Amino acid sequence: MTWKDYFTLIKVQPGRIVTPRFGTLDFSDPNLPVEKVQALFEDDFPYLQITSLGLETLYPVPPLAKLPFKKVEPLAPARRTVKRKA
């Protein structure tokens, strides 16, 4: 799969873009390593947006562990002390 399956470019046209981490990268090349694009995305590169396939593949959410259910009894309301007149 190519990097375009996991990420899309926003606000710019595909082509050569100077990146702070890797220098000039050609985003019109479908054979750009996914690891480089993912590293740029994690560095908050402003022109990359992750796709739903990218979320599922690169950042999977582990299933929630089933925790034992424990029934909690509601607390009884606190009683006010009533002062009696003597």
Question: pTM for this one?
Answer: 0.69
Dihedral sign from CA coordinates of 56, 35, 45, 18: negative
pLDDT score, position 1: 78
Mean pLDDT of each 10-residue bin along the chain, 86 residues long: 93 93 94 95 95 93 72 77 75
Residue 63 class from Cβ within 10 Å (0-12 exposed, 13-18 middle, 19+ buried)? exposed
Rounded (to 5) percent helix, strand, coil in the chain:
20, 15, 60
3-class DSSP state of 83? coil
